[in-house]
Amino acid sequence: MSLSKTLPAEKSSGQPHKMNETETLCNGRWLRLKRRGRWEFAERVNAGGGVIIVAVTPDDRLLLVEQYRAAIEARTIEMPAGLVGDLAHAPDEHAVEAARRELLEETGYEAGRIEFLMAGPSSSGMSNEIMAFVRAYDLERVHAGGGDETEDIVVHEVPRADAARWLVAKMAEGYSVDPKMFAGLYFLEHGEALFGRGGP
């Protein structure tokens, strides 16, 4: 399942906008800058979207990752995440498959089961990228994590009940915290009821 399908834009009246021709302004190795009418936006060249993983260890600790992000020149706190379909041998990769791979690579934990929750735009005014949320269950530690050879990831295991306060404290220390983290916390507590998925 590709997460990069683009739906036609609609006015509030429900009638489709007149679609202008799309012009490519710049091709990068990983991103492409485009213009449609007066609107400029980015799209990924090598992937079908991204996936964010809500994962809790058997002793009820939420898995979070810390890493430096060049685009904002800051260290960030995020849930484990990665690109979907960015491997040359698996361009049609599903979000669940990507999540299993990225969770193991970044945190060292292998999931016994992963449930798809939802997908939506990461920043609809700037990019056509679609982000999925998944919930990982039955985790087992396989290695220390830390990402691949291009990454320097610090893994944090935060008591589930203290996660929101811990994130706010990290913000006060100067870390950049992705707002989607709080959506992940909501899904952790209410996702099964909302989306009808099975629990642990």
Quote the CA–CA distance of 177 and 66 in Å, as a whole number: 10
Asked whether residue 14 is assigned to any structural domain, the reply reads yes
Q: Which domain holds residue 15?
A: 8-45
87: exposed, middle or buried (C-beta count within 10 Å: 0-12, 13-18, 19+)?
middle
> What residues are paired with 133 via a beta bridge?
52, 118
In a domain, 3, yes or no: no
Same domain, 15 and 92: no
Averages of pLDDT over runs of 10 residues in the chain (200 residues) are 47 58 89 89 82 96 95 94 78 87 95 95 88 96 81 92 96 94 92 70
Give the pLDDT of residue 131.
92
Tell me what pLDDT residue 142 has: 93
Give the pLDDT confidence score for residue 45 in this predicted structure: 81
* 90, 184: one domain: yes
Torsion of CA 113, 117, 119, 123, to 10 degrees: -100
Query: 28 with 94, same domain?
Result: no
Same domain, 17 and 96: no
200 within a domain of the structure (yes/no): no
How many domains would you assign to the chain?
Answer: 2
Is 92 within the bounds of a domain? yes
CATH at residue 69: 3.90.79.10
DSSP designation for 160: G
Q: At what angle do helices 180-195 and 163-172 cross, to 10 degrees?
A: 160
> Rounded to whole angstroms, what are the CA distances from 8 to 63, 108, 149?
36, 40, 39
**Helices assigned H by DSSP within the chain:** 95-107, 163-172, 180-195
